[in-house]
Chains A and B, each alone.
Chain A
Amino acid sequence: MAEKNFGKPMKRVEDPRFITGTASYTDDLKLPGMVHAAMVRSPYAHARIKGIDASKALAHPGVLAVITGQEMKDAGIKSIPTGWLHPGIKTPPHYAITFDKARHVGDIVAAVIAETRQIAEDAAQLVEVDYEPLPAVSLGSDALKPGAPAVHDDVPDNICFTWSIGDKAAVDAAFASAYKTVKLHLRNNRLVPNAMEPRASLAQYHPASDEYTLWTTSQNPHIHRLLIAAFIMGIPEHKLRVIAPDVGGGFGSKIYQYPEEIIVLYAAKKLGRPVKWTARRSESFVTDSHGRDHETVAEMAVDQNGKITAVRVETIANMGAYLTTFAPAVPTYLYGCLLAGPYTTPHIYCHVTAPFTHTTPVDAYRGAGRPEATYLLERLADVMAHELGMDPVEFRRKNLIPPEAFPYQTPVALQYDSGNYEANLNKALELVNYKALREQQEAARKQGRYMGIGVVTYIEACGLAPSALVGSLGAQAGQWESALVRVMPTGKVEVFTGTHSHGQGHETAFAQVVADELQIPVEDVVLVHGDTGRMPYGWGSYGSRSAPTGLSAIVLAARKIVDKAKKIAAHLLEAAPEDIVHEDGKFMVKGVPDKAKTFFDIALQAHLAHNYPADLEPGLEATHFYDPKNFVFPFGTHIAVVEVDPETGKIKLLRYLSVDDCGPVVNPLIAEGQVHGGIAQGLGQALLEEAVYDKEGQILSGNFLEYALPRADDMVQIEHDHTVTPCPHNPLGIKGIGEAGTIASTAAVANAVMDALRPFGIVHLDMPYTPEKVWRAIQHSRLAQAAD
């Protein structure tokens, strides 16, 4: 019997095309007659558009059209909706091309279509827009001040929504009677996702059938189809095919319905030629939705035993100028509901105010709300531990939810299904040799060197999502996932999923699982994803949902195949279906191994239907729609070790160790890779990255010369292990792992840096820990200490 594929670190079946340069990313695609779009974008954060003169652009040879917002509105193209609504939320219109005002640097004010990309770009510079610049606001708290300029005329106070969770009275009472409290003002720095592939879209219109095809860099083509068809362009849903070909990374930024996709579709029909648009990187910086950008006051209360009694959080979450698809969910249900972390905190209250500002929209970026929650919890934990004179690890250990408490109902709606936090923590401490690390740190301090150790115990909630639950919370979409497993006459199998792989290795990992379920060679299984024309329905990949939700649907569909196969086998073997077993790749009569049929025999007969049960339909395919009963709750421990150069403030990562629990692991190579990437992004947020706006809404860090992404020499080899605590409510017990790395690592690096700076009496600094920021904090503390 062949070994199981589950758990094998198989190398990926998708790699051949990537390592030989034969993949097909959207910008690689070429259609006959294809023309190109270039966007005219506002250089102002806020300006009234008094007029657009496209005459010079139109006169440029090779220019086919200059499209304005008014033209598209008059043609009936509607506003781009957001996909999550809270009670009382303000959802001002978001047109693909704005026509009244520009509301952020990069807001599209016209689109130029031309024969070549060069001509389109040259001509875009010739479009004359008469702007009347207006005052702008870029910081969330500034947008809430009286007299702040309004981003949208019908939202004069700039408040998109407010939201809260928890029992405020109980929390306030706990703080009033606390043994000790700690309060931190925290900024969660705004980030630009910067997937390596810039966004691109290619639209084609087929006049004979009045159908459209859109190739686009998307994590979820079905969502694009639904939004475009039903809400924005009025195209019948069955006449729009959306294909996400090879996509070069997403991290959330390719979830959303973007303006450029609408523009190329409109232009393709208008001109009768396929239209392509590809972002330049500096465009990506102002047009891809950003992440994070919270201003928070976070407080923790403990009793005399060091047990956390309450957490109270007040956050201003910047929404940017418009709401993109997921935005209202991120600083609310994906944030406030995570504020228990892995701890037994009995009372939690979180209140969020979400203002509009004249900046690029803010939405989900790897972790989406959970890194923000983990960061503040873990900073509070470290600061409190220090206040109490406790080792930060012991403080956490004291507060971890014990294994016998599951399922554990948190005070913020979520019920954790399973977990074993202390065992995981102990494994991490042992692997890193925590005691020796602290001794190393002591020795270093005596030599005037500043080493820091940051330990983070985290949980996260992912595997989006139980549909009824999220629907009741404001989601405008379902969050189940579907699978179609189709067996061909020759026994080869196609698996259609509504998830989409843009780096996560689904073509390999999912095939491993299906091959195990059907007991066939893994090479006989192929995964089809990313095409609404081939896969009837799905909700895409984000929120670490592909494995827990997507793969669960696939497994259950595959099991339906096996059930039907048994019936066919029973008929062929002249036995009762209950007597058929599926072992060693064969269907056989129990106890009679030589009365057996192969998968190929069954597949063939299912299609010939010659020798076939009268009461069974021919064919061998099965669909399953899987709606999870709950989120899944991966958890773990991350430990970062850094050294600070006090002369320059520069920080070097020395070691990074993670022990994550995502349940049983389908493919360790792939799972670990996800964690590695997430860790680099967390390090990026902590040390390097910030989307900086000046007070007038100009982005100052608008390209790779200013915005520092982590490079190979910023990172170290990551030490990694895992524990396995299965999820009790899905067929394989698996949890997601795509975001966990990012969720924990920002906090781990932050705590390590603060730990390194402890001898200077520095309690808290905001990220990113740039060299100057750290140096100044050290200088300031030295002066303060000298003055004492």
Chain B
Amino acid sequence: MYTAPFSYKRASNLTEALSLLQQNPEAKLLAGGHSLIPAMKLRLAAPPMLIDISKVAELRGIRREGEILVIGAMTTYRELETSELLKQHCPILPQAVQVVGDPMVRAKGTIGGSLAHADPAADLPAVMLALEARIKVQGPDGARVLEAEQFFTGMFSTALQEGEILTEVHIPIRPGARMAYAKFPHPASRYAVVGVAVVLDGNTVRAAVTGVGEHAMRLSKLEQALSGQALSAENITAACQGLLPADHLNHDLVASKEYRAHLVDVMAKRALMQAVGL
């Protein structure tokens, strides 16, 4: 119940955060803490130092820069849920976060924290992949921008290098795009057993799934099957069959790999139906 002891530093700006991280490579960043603190309480993580970045102003805010929505890493789920900008230009985000955790988790958990933690059953990674978002990170040598697809590399691991901080998420505005996230939650933890995000942008279908493997991934078979077509209940149903082979999927107490594979088909279908309004 008690975490291992650690020392605590609070960064007042990004430069200070980067500097602290560089001096203390074993330290972990504390954003909302709702992935990190539970892990520390179970003694699954025991960083010797926490660097609190919750007061770093540069990491907050949602704004539009031309055709890109820029979301600060410290934006909470609640802020994502209530953002008028997002409701207008990227409604899948406000929709998806409503099924993340509970209201208290949503008050503290952040987009940056969720993506950097890269829980294989987290919801936002699938949404980011389907949006083809870009993730900006800042390190001692400057900033770089990664494609979402490069970002998630394994279970709880990302392309973040030592000393780097995830600072912003960039989402291209796609006028007229239809999008939805369908989730089958774990009855106890409410994490995603399977979650599928779809973004329909003109004739292009982008889809991604979470909960089934080491990290969220694109559903290329589905994208190829439906891209360039007018979507109907019939072709959606036909395309959402056998999207992922069961063999290498996660297998646990709540869902075997075969059932998971089946749920991918069902959630993909439901996300698509929802997106097109059927």
Residues of chain A at the chain B interface (Cβ within 8 Å)? 117-118, 121-122, 125, 280, 647-648, 650, 688, 692, 700-701, 704-709, 770-772, 775-776
Contact = CB atoms under 8 A, between A and B. Distances in A.
Contacts of A709: 188
B184 A648 contact: yes
A772 B256 contact: yes
Nearest to B41: A280
26 contacts: A121-B1, A121-B2, A122-B2, A122-B4, A280-B1, A647-B266, A648-B266, A650-B184, A688-B187, A701-B253, A704-B189, A705-B189, A706-B188, A706-B189, A706-B253, A706-B254, A707-B188, A708-B186, A708-B187, A708-B188, A770-B254, A771-B259, A772-B254, A772-B256, A772-B259, A775-B259
B184 A118 contact: no
A705 B266 contact: no
Contacts of A648: 184, 263, 266
A708 B186 CA distance: 9
Contacts of A706: 188-189, 253-254
Given A708-B188, A709-B188, 9 more contacts: A118-B2, A648-B184, A700-B253, A706-B188, A706-B253, A708-B186, A771-B184, A771-B259, A772-B256
B237 to A, nearest CB: 11
A43 to B, nearest CB: 13
A692 B253 contact: yes
B18 interface: no
B136 interface: no
Contacts of B189: 704-706
Contacts of B263: 648
Contacts of A688: 187-188
A647 B253 CA distance: 19
B262 interface: yes
Contact of B2 (A117, A704, A775): A117
Interface string B243-278: 000000000011110010011001000000000000
Most buried by A among B187, B255, B263: B187
Name B's interface SS.
Answer: loop
Contacts of A117: 2
B185 to A, nearest CB: 10
Contacts of A280: 1
Contacts of B253: 692, 700-701, 706
Nearest to A690: B253
A704 B188 contact: yes
A349 to B, nearest CB: 37
Contact of A705 (B2, B4, B188, B255): B188
A280 B3 CA distance: 13
A704 B253 CA distance: 14
A10 to B, nearest CB: 33
B172 to A, nearest CB: 33
Contacts of B187: 688, 708, 770
Contacts of B266: 647-648
A280 B2 CA distance: 10
A558 B254 CA distance: 55
Nearest to A122: B2
Contacts of B188: 688, 701, 704-709
A117 B2 CA distance: 9
A265 B119 CA distance: 44
Which of B4, B184, B254, B256: most chain A Cβ within 10 A? B254
Nearest to A688: B187
A122 B3 CA distance: 9
B265 to A, nearest CB: 9
Nearest to B267: A648
A71 B188 CA distance: 41
A678 to B, nearest CB: 20
Contacts of A125: 43
Interface string B1-21: 110100000000000000000
A714 to B, nearest CB: 8
A620 B151 CA distance: 80
Contacts of B259: 771-772, 775-776
A280 B43 CA distance: 14
A125 B1 CA distance: 12
Among A117, A650, A771, the one with the most B-chain Cβ atoms within 10 Å of its Cβ is A771
A449 to B, nearest CB: 16
Contacts of B256: 772
A624 to B, nearest CB: 45
Contacts of A776: 259
Contacts of A772: 254-256, 259
Interface in B37-63: 43
A775 B262 contact: yes
Nearest to A694: B253
